[in-house]
Structure 1
């Protein structure tokens, strides 16, 4: 889900014919809200599995890192992106706003999350 939405859907939707910045931002808000809800549910499942299953240290640490990254995204990065979206939508048409560093932070945290989840999956299957 993270790969499909964050690294494919998000940048590509703005290239679709007829998709304006406001429409793209509105779609993005809906899609990322749904993604984040799914991630919360899945993260809760991972926490329960770790507590009940008592896996090894490596699996526990990777699961914890994934959950902490998600919490950081939801608590700090997503609110910053939402504020940026609000500013863009409120700006007069054609106004140029400075680029947002929050997007780069979000991409970095998404990359970390994907790598951690990949490692977690490999360890879980191999272990």
Structure 2
């Protein structure tokens, strides 16, 4: 791996990693503990924040693909790039639509808080955890190889 592709891979990986940790594992759980934040308000904020996060994640994914292309799509870094792209695709195409439908249902139900927990939410968090580990490994791999 040349220095430029390694630097780009690590920069995109660690930036993306920080965003996921900050939003998915810090902001999202804390927002519902803030005074005056109702379930509908928290869900509305969450939709906006995660839509923005997913948009930026797509831009980070493009950056990773460009950096991997500079490398020639070879080696462990490229495998990790492919893994993180698959994880993002799963979230955007399989899990987020289910979460959006659930949010709609909660917002339409007079006492939406009484609905059973969502398996889609658990799946999203599980994929986020794997994505965090993959991005961390990618960043480290890129730094050590560059």
Question: Which TM-score applies when normalising by structure 1?
Answer: 0.96
Q: CA deviation at 1:49?
A: 1.2
Quote the offset at 1:96 in angstroms. Answer: 1.3
Specify the alignment match of 1:88 in structure 2.
Answer: 106
Q: Aligned pair 1:65/2:118, yes or no?
A: no
Correspondent of 1:32 among 50, 58, 62: 50
Report the equivalent of 1:14. 32
**Which secondary structure does the structure 2 equivalent of 1:15 belong to?**
coil
Compare relative contact order (CA 8 Å, sep 6+) and give the higher one, 1 or 2. Answer: 2
Provide, for residues 67-122 of structure 1, a one-character-per-residue CA deviation record: whole Å limited to 9, x for no partner: 11001100011101000100000001366111100111001000000000000000
Q: State the aligned residue count.
A: 127
| Runs of 4+ residues deviating >4 angstroms | none
Aligned mates of 1:49, 1:71 — CA distance in 2: 19
Quick one: distance in 2 between partners of 1:48 and 1:95? Answer: 43
Q: Secondary structure at the match of 2:114?
A: coil
Structural mapping, 1:48-63, within 5 Å: 48-54=66-72, 56-63=74-81
Distance 1:94 1:106 in 2: 20
Which runs of 5 or more structure 2 residues have no equivalent in the other structure? 1-18
Counterparts of 1:105 and 1:57 in 2: how far apart (Å)? 29
What TM-score comes out, normalization by structure 2 length?
0.84
Mapped partners of 1:19, 1:50: distance in 2: 42
